[in-house]
Amino acid sequence: MDCLSCRRKSCRSVQSCGAEKFRKSDVIDTYRQGHNTEIVRNAASLVDNGRAGTLSRIQELIEFASGGEYRKVGLAYCYGMEELAGSIRRMFLDGGVPCIGISCTCGAMAQSEINSESRLPGVSCNPVSQAAQLTAEGVDLAVQVGLCLGHDILFTREFAGDQTTLVVKDRVHGHNPLAGVEVGRQ
């Protein structure tokens, strides 16, 4: 199955193309499990009823976090974006959402401790410790703010709770990776 190559797009009218390799009943069961039901309901409240396109991503995120079962939001941020992370944290707090930030340098580990092949001096980015610290702090929704490629993958693997990304690091395009995508050349 490759949806980008499909010309029928029948799935957009609630009609299967028949190429799926999963069982629909299993998927429906997953949506109906515990916390997933709450996430679906909360996400729908941001999109349905004419609300799509009326809020920025940060506004959506604050509303999503305050409308769900989340007790505490944690920002997993790149130390190079600390000022931005502080502003984001203040926005959560102003929105009534408890929020803490954990820097990628959490744990103060040397480059050689994280990467035995590194000869760079100084501290290393440490997404595994970020995930462990946010979990220990009781964070149940983590928000990534500018983690490096690869570090974001490790963080995603290691953090036990729900997570989303607010800022994707793209130094070339001002942290807007879509600026580098040429649309319409399919």
The helix (run of H) or strand (run of E) holding residue 142 is strand 141-145
User: What structural domains and CATH numbers belong to the chain?
Assistant: 70-175 (3.40.50.2300)
DSSP assigned state of 129:
H
Placement of tokens 């299993």 in the chain: 26
Pair of tokens at residue 89: 């944290």
- Residue 185: per-residue pLDDT: 64
* 57-111 tens-digit pLDDT: 999 999 999 887 899 999 999 999 999 999 999 999 999 999 999 999 988 877 7
Q: Is 164 exposed, middle or buried (0-12, 13-18, 19+ CB in 10 A)?
A: middle
Q: What DSSP string describes 30-74?
A: HHTSHHHHHHHHHHHHHHTTTTTTSS-HHHHHHHHHHHSS-S-EE
Query: What are the φ/ψ torsions at residue 135 (nearest 5 degrees)?
Result: -65, -45
* 157-167 tens-digit pLDDT: 999 999 999 99
- Residue 186: per-residue pLDDT: 54
- Residue 77: per-residue pLDDT: 97
* Three-state DSSP class for residue 107: coil
Cα–Cα–Cα angle for 175, 166, 156, nearest 5°? 105
Q: How far apart are CA 76 and CA 56, in angstroms?
A: 20
